Amino acid sequence: MKKSLIALAVAGAMTAPMIAQADATLYGSFRMGVAETSNNGTPGSKTDGDIDVVDTSSRMGIKGDVDLGLDGTKGFFQWEAQVYGTDDADQGQSLGNRLMLIGAKGDWGTAQIGKMYHPHYLLIEAPTNVFHPGSSDFGERFNLGNTFHKRQQNTVAYISPSMNGLTFIAGAVIMGDSDDNDSSFDDGVDGYNVAATYNGVQNLTLSASYGDVDAGDVSTAAVIGVVGGVPTVTTAASTQTDFSKDVTGLSAKYTMDALELMAKYEESETDFNGANQLDENVWELAARYTTANGTAVYGRYADYEEKNASTDLEQWGLGVSQKMGNGIVYLEHVNNDSDDDAGDRTVAGYRLDF
């Protein structure tokens, strides 16, 4: 009897960690390639014909569900880090935090807190961002957030359940004094993003988003300006008071068997130092055709306009990929319509998901 109790206890002790681990999934996507890049818009960082080994957003993470002991509601968590296989100056880190969020979900919807994609990116920008290295997309310019990135920390968000195909998302950024790791903003950073998506009609998805960020006084370099042919990050002023930015976006996606058609429109206004500094918009069309054996051809066209500086830019891209199990090989070219071909880029890449 004692022996069997001991055996049971030993078995229980060995099983408990296995049960705990069973709900966590280790996942990742490693993405490397070789890129030929002309001047990328940042003076001095690239020259025509530079060929680099590039890391196109490799990442790994852990995610899973947690039993909360509630009927119809369970907890979940996700942590995802960027891992780097290159020594680019802007990628000097060995590990970068991409996502870290926890939440609960049930019939009532999903509530989550932490660092996450904001809905503007997921619903408006992501559908047309069909390329693997997406950083050269004009759409990235319209990101919200304190560092104007598609992933935002210090965020709480609620996602409604689908109601006849209609889903609402609302998120708020709450950053108190000196409790964040971003020194760009001194105090009282607040932002919000509300969005809705509708997929009640077969093969069609429509989305809309509005977001606003009030950053207070910005004391360091900020994202303003267009350099070369590409909207990019530069310093417009050393001190910007009452920095605020709002972004509105619309997107649509329609699927016809193997063909997907995507479109989006975004506009944004940026104010600081008591005046409107930037008034910009972009529209983009994208299409992707995927065969039954995993071959895909895709392309996109974007038109960017900055009214204050009378800047009008065009960008197009063409790519082809082959899916092989959990691996993808791709060849992509992005062309920026500018006199010096700034930012033109061709990437031959290899991606493995696990």
Partner 1 sequence: MKAKLRSLLVAGAVSIMLCQPSVAADVEVDPWEGFNRTMFSFNDGLDTYALKPVSQGYKAIMPDIAETGVSNFFGNLADVGTLLNNLLQGKFSNATQDFARIAFNSTFGLAGLIDVATPMGIDKHDEDFGQTFGYWGVDSGPYLVLPFFGPTTVRDGIGRVPDYLVDPVRQLDDNGARNAMYATRIINDRAELLEAEKLISGDKYTFVRDAYLQKRAFSIVDGDGENYDESNF
| Number of amino acids touching partner 1 (CB under 8 A) | 18
Q: Which of 26, 48, 294, 354 binds partner 1 (CB under 8 A)?
A: 294
By CB under 8 A, is residue 291 in contact with partner 1?
A: yes
Task: Provide the 8-state DSSP code for 136.
Answer: G
Of the two residues 199 and 255, which places its CB atom closer to partner 1 in the complex?
255
296 in contact with partner 1 (CB under 8 A) = yes
**Interacting span for partner 1 (CB under 8 A) from 78-86, 146-154, 197-205, 290-298:** 290-298
Residue with tokens 């409604």: 160
Backbone angles phi, psi at 119, to 5 degrees: -60, -25
100 belongs to the binding site for partner 1 (CB under 8 A):
no
Instruction: Look up residue 157 and give its amino acid.
Output: A
Cβ distance to partner 1 smaller for residue 196 or 320:
320
Q: Does 295 bind partner 1 (CB under 8 A)?
A: yes
**Residue 331 interacts with partner 1 (CB under 8 A)?**
yes
Cα four-point dihedral sign 222, 344, 143, 278? positive
Task: Show Cβ contacts of residue 255 under 8 Å, excluding neighbours closer than 6 positions.
Answer: 203, 204, 261
CB of 27 to partner 1, least distance (A): 24
**E strands in the chain:** 24-37, 50-55, 59-70, 73-83, 95-106, 109-117, 151-159, 166-175, 189-198, 204-218, 226-227, 230-231, 240-256, 259-272, 275-290, 295-306, 311-324, 327-336, 345-353
> What does the per-residue mask of binding to partner 1 show for 217-246, with x meaning CB under 8 A?
------------------------------
Per CB under 8 A, does 326 bind partner 1? no
Q: Closer CB to partner 1, residue 73 or residue 322?
A: 322
Q: Pick the closer one to partner 1 by CB: 188 or 294.
A: 294
Closest distance between partner 1 and the C-beta of residue 52, in Å?
Answer: 16
Q: Tell me if 320 sits within 8 A of 347, measured CB to CB.
A: no
Look at residues 305, 342, 286 and name the one whose alpha carbon lies nearest to residue 41. 342
Q: How far is the CB of 329 from partner 1 (least distance, A)?
A: 7
For residues 99 and 47, give the distance between their C-alpha atoms in angstroms, rounded to a whole number: 33
Of 91-99, 135-143, 190-198, 294-302, which part binds partner 1 (CB under 8 A)? 294-302
Of residues 255 through 284, those in contact with partner 1 by CB under 8 A are: 258-259
How many other CB atoms sit within 10 Å of the CB of residue 188? Answer: 12
- CA–CA separation, 231 vs 120, rounded Å? 19
Q: What tokens does 286 get?
A: 């994208």
What are the φ/ψ torsions at residue 312 (nearest 5 degrees)?
Answer: -130, 115
Between residues 77 and 254, which has the closer beta carbon with respect to partner 1? 254
- Does residue 324 touch partner 1 according to CB under 8 A? yes
- For partner 1, the closer CB: 164 or 293: 293
Tokens of 54: 């590039």
Interface residues with partner 1 (CB under 8 A) are: 258-259, 289-297, 320-322, 324, 329, 331, 348
